[in-house]
Amino acid sequence: MSILEAKEIVYTYHTKYQRIPALCGVSCSFDPGKLYAIIGSSGGGKTTLLSLLAGLDLPESGQVLYCGVSTAALNRNEYRRKNVSVVYQSFNLFPLLNALENVMVPMGLNRVSEKEAKIRARQLLQSVGLPQTTERQFPKMMSGGEQQRVAIARALASEAPLILADEPTGNLDTENSNHIVDILQSLAHEQNRCVIVITHDPGVAERADTVLRLVDGRLV
């Protein structure tokens, strides 16, 4: 059974002067244990689709279903906190927190004790290939590849079954990009997560289990 489904979803941006269709009846489904790549030109609706899958907004019509239940019927704050983790191209780390503290944030929101959160955060940083010396470093002290690994470790801290990534290799060189894809692929295949990646990187797409192409708000 699919963990996440989009059924005939439509979404339109409204400005003072015009309506801008972003998604036009998109239907797709996502299973645990797979890495998905969503590709397409800029403005094709990729980021809009990701935000709806993440529960950041609701479709104008149609449904996003998590385990068969519409996100419109869920407490979306709780849905995002427990079931979805998002990794961004710009990392979105807290600049005044070190790597360990950044990874501990989701666990604090879920009321994990500080002692347990610290132990788990160390394990997660190690799991994404970061040495122990990284723990006390602040984002500005790290390379782009290191920051993205911390961001992924933080995404894993909530133990969410859905990992959504928006251009996670967009600011990285080829070597670091390959390392990030290795981690995402491992999350899907070895930890049975459902990993959905928006990407312009053909190297990411060719390693995905399934590739979805969005053109002008439609799957082709």
Cβ proximity of 147 and 130 under 8 Å: no
Task: Considering only residues 16 and 85, tell me which one the structure prediction assigns the higher pLDDT.
Answer: 85
Residue 88 banded pLDDT, cuts 50, 70, 90: confident
> What CATH number has the domain bearing residue 194?
3.40.50.300
Q: What is the pLDDT of residues 21-51, one digit of tens each?
A: 899 999 999 999 999 999 988 878 999 999 9
Residue 104 domain boundaries: 4-219
**The predicted structure's pLDDT at residue 76:** 94
**The predicted structure's pLDDT at residue 97:** 96
**The predicted structure's pLDDT at residue 128:** 87
Residue 115 banded pLDDT, cuts 50, 70, 90: very high
Q: Is the pTM of the predicted complex or chain greater than 0.85? A: yes
Rounded to an integer, the average pLDDT of 9-18 is: 90
**The predicted structure's pLDDT at residue 203:** 84
State how many domains the chain has. 1
Residue 98 has pLDDT above 90, yes or no: yes
**Three-class secondary structure of residue 2 per DSSP:** coil
What would the DSSP string read from start to end of 157-217? TTT-SEEEEESTTTTS-HHHHHHHHHHHHHHHHTT--EEEEE-S-HHHHTTSSEEEEEETT
Q: What is the pLDDT of residues 149-197, one digit of tens each?
A: 899 899 888 889 999 999 888 877 888 888 888 989 999 999 999 999 9
What distance in Å separates the CA atoms of residue 133 and residue 6, rounded to the nearest whole number?
A: 42
Residue 94 has pLDDT above 90, yes or no: yes
Write the single-letter amino acid at 211.
V
**The predicted structure's pLDDT at residue 174:** 85
